[in-house]
Structure 1
Amino acid sequence: MCITAHWIDSDWNMRQKILNFCPIISHKGEDMANGISRCLREWGINKIFTITVDNASSNAVTVKELSKQLTKMGTNLMNGNHLHVRCMAHIMNLVVQDGLKECSLSIERVRHAVRYVRQSPARLKRFQESCDDEQINCKKSLCLDVPTRWNSTYLMLSRAVEFENAFSNYASREIGLRHYLENSYVEVGITAGELLSSDWVHVKRITRFLEIFYLLTLKISGSRYVTSNIHFLEICAVAVYLNKLMASEDTGLSDMAKKMKEKFNKYWGDPTKMNKIIFISCILDPRYKLESVGYALVKMFGTQGPSIQAEIKKYMTSLFNEYVKSSSKGSVLDVSSPCSSMDTSTSGISGSEESTQSTGL
Structure 2
Amino acid sequence: MDNFDQKLGPDFLKNLSGETISPLSVVIHEDIYESSSKRPKTTSKVWDVFEKLPAQQGDSKAICKLCRRIYTAKTTSGTSHLRRHIEACLKRGNHDLDQRSTEACFKPVNRDANRHTVSQGTLIDATTPLKSYKLDVDEIRRAIAMMIIVDAQPFRVVEDTGFRHVLNVACPEFPLLSRKAIKRDIISIYVRERENIRELLGACPGRICLTSSTWKSNCDDHYNCVTAHFIDHEWRLQKRILRFKLIPPPYDSLSIADEIGLCMVQWNIEHKVFSVTLENLSSDDCVADILKTRLDAKKYHPFKGVFFNMSCSTRILNLIVQAGFNLIIDIIGKLRLGIKYVQQSPHRKKNFYIIAKTLNLDTQKKLCLDSPSRWNSTYNMIEVALCYKNAFLYLAEQDKNFIHKLSEDEWEKVSVSYKFLKVIFEVACIFFRNRQPTSNLYFKALWKVHRRLSDMVRGPENFMTRMVKEMQSKFNQYWSEYNLILSCAAILDPRYKIKFVEYCYTKLYGSGAQQYVSASVNTLYGLFHDYMQNSACPSHTATLSVLTTKISNDKDDNDGFEDYETFQSARFQTQVEKSQLDLYLDEPSHDLNSEIDVLEYWTLCSLRYPELSRMARDVLTIPVSTIASDNAFDIGPQVISTDRSSLKSKMIQALVCLQDWMLASDKTSSMESRTEDDSSSSSDGDDDY
CA–CA separation in structure 1 for the residues paired with 2:378 and 2:616: 43
Aligned partner letter, 2:234: D
Cα 1:260–1:151, aligned 2, differ >3 Å: closer, same or farther? farther
Cα 1:356–1:260, aligned 2, differ >3 Å: closer, same or farther? closer
Cα 1:131–1:355, aligned 2, differ >3 Å: closer, same or farther? closer
SS of the equivalent of 2:226 reads strand
Q: CA deviation at 1:343?
A: 2.6
Residue ranges of structure 2 left out of the alignment (5+ in a row): 1-223, 358-362, 543-573, 586-604, 624-689
Q: CA deviation at 1:214?
A: 0.7
Aligned partner letter, 2:416: R
User: Greater shift after overlay, 124-133 or 208-217?
Assistant: 124-133
**Residue in 2 that maps onto 1:190:** none
Q: CA deviation at 1:215?
A: 0.8
Q: C-alpha offsets along residues 285-342 of structure 1, whole Å, 9 cap, x if unaligned?
A: 11111111112111112222112211222111111111122224999x99x9932343
1:95 equivalenced with 2:334 (yes/no): no
SS of the equivalent of 1:146 reads coil
Q: Is the 8 A contact 2:278 2:284 kept in 1?
A: yes
1:319 equivalenced with 2:543 (yes/no): no
TM-score when normalising by structure 1? 0.77
Aligned partner letter, 1:42: Q
1:50 equivalenced with 2:266 (yes/no): no
**Residue in 2 that maps onto 1:10:** 233
SS of the equivalent of 1:304 reads helix
**Residue in 2 that maps onto 1:266:** 477
Q: CA deviation at 1:220?
A: 2.1
Q: Is the 8 A contact 1:327 1:354 kept in 2?
A: no
1:348 equivalenced with 2:559 (yes/no): no
**Residue in 2 that maps onto 1:187:** none
CA–CA separation in structure 2 for the residues paired with 1:132 and 1:330: 71
CA–CA separation in structure 1 for the residues paired with 2:621 and 2:451: 33
Aligned partner letter, 2:314: A
Q: Is the 8 A contact 2:423 2:452 kept in 1?
A: no
Aligned partner letter, 2:459: S
1:307 equivalenced with 2:530 (yes/no): no
Cα 1:323–1:135, aligned 2, differ >3 Å: closer, same or farther? same
Aligned partner letter, 1:302: G
The residue correspondences of 1:278-297 to structure 2 (distance < 5 A) are 278-297=486-505
CA–CA separation in structure 2 for the residues paired with 1:351 and 1:247: 42
The residue correspondences of 1:123-202 to structure 2 (distance < 5 A) are 123=344, 125=346, 127-132=348-353, 134-135=355-356, 137-138=363-364, 140-146=366-372, 150-164=375-389, 165-166=391-392, 169=395, 175=401, 178=403, 195-202=406-413
Find the partner of 1:84 among 305, 309, 325: 309
Aligned partner letter, 1:21: F
**Residue in 2 that maps onto 1:36:** 260
**Residue in 2 that maps onto 1:206:** 417
CA–CA separation in structure 1 for the residues paired with 2:490 and 2:621: 19
Cα 1:54–1:173, aligned 2, differ >3 Å: closer, same or farther? same
Q: CA deviation at 1:218?
A: 0.5
The residue correspondences of 1:236-255 to structure 2 (distance < 5 A) are 236-249=447-460, 251-252=462-463, 254-255=465-466
SS of the equivalent of 2:578 reads helix
* Greater share of residues in helix: 1
CA–CA separation in structure 2 for the residues paired with 1:153 and 1:354: 38
User: Greater shift after overlay, 9-18 or 37-46?
Assistant: 37-46
Q: CA deviation at 1:260?
A: 3.4
Q: CA deviation at 1:279?
A: 0.9
CA–CA separation in structure 2 for the residues paired with 1:357 and 1:249: 40
Cα 1:257–1:228, aligned 2, differ >3 Å: closer, same or farther? same
Cα 1:315–1:354, aligned 2, differ >3 Å: closer, same or farther? closer
Find the partner of 1:70 among 254, 274, 295: 295
Aligned partner letter, 1:343: Y
Identity of counterpart residues, as a percentage? 25
Find the partner of 2:285 among 60, 65, 74: 60
Cα 1:128–1:83, aligned 2, differ >3 Å: closer, same or farther? same
Q: Is the 8 A contact 1:145 1:155 kept in 2?
A: no
Aligned length: 336
User: Greater shift after overlay, 305-314 or 246-255?
Assistant: 246-255
Q: CA deviation at 1:86?
A: 1.7
CA–CA separation in structure 1 for the residues paired with 2:411 and 2:537: 66
Q: Is the 8 A contact 2:232 2:238 kept in 1?
A: yes
Q: Is the 8 A contact 1:63 1:84 kept in 2?
A: yes
Q: CA deviation at 1:35?
A: 1.8
Cα 1:84–1:126, aligned 2, differ >3 Å: closer, same or farther? farther
Cα 1:246–1:86, aligned 2, differ >3 Å: closer, same or farther? same
**Residue in 1 that maps onto 2:84:** none
**Residue in 1 that maps onto 2:442:** 231
Aligned partner letter, 2:232: D
Cα 1:19–1:350, aligned 2, differ >3 Å: closer, same or farther? farther
Residue ranges of structure 1 left out of the alignment (5+ in a row): 182-193
CA–CA separation in structure 2 for the residues paired with 1:74 and 1:310: 26
Q: CA deviation at 1:80?
A: 2.3
CA–CA separation in structure 2 for the residues paired with 1:354 and 1:239: 26
Aligned partner letter, 1:342: L
Cα 1:101–1:71, aligned 2, differ >3 Å: closer, same or farther? same
Cα 1:33–1:223, aligned 2, differ >3 Å: closer, same or farther? farther
**Residue in 2 that maps onto 1:339:** 578
Q: Is the 8 A contact 2:440 2:489 kept in 1?
A: yes
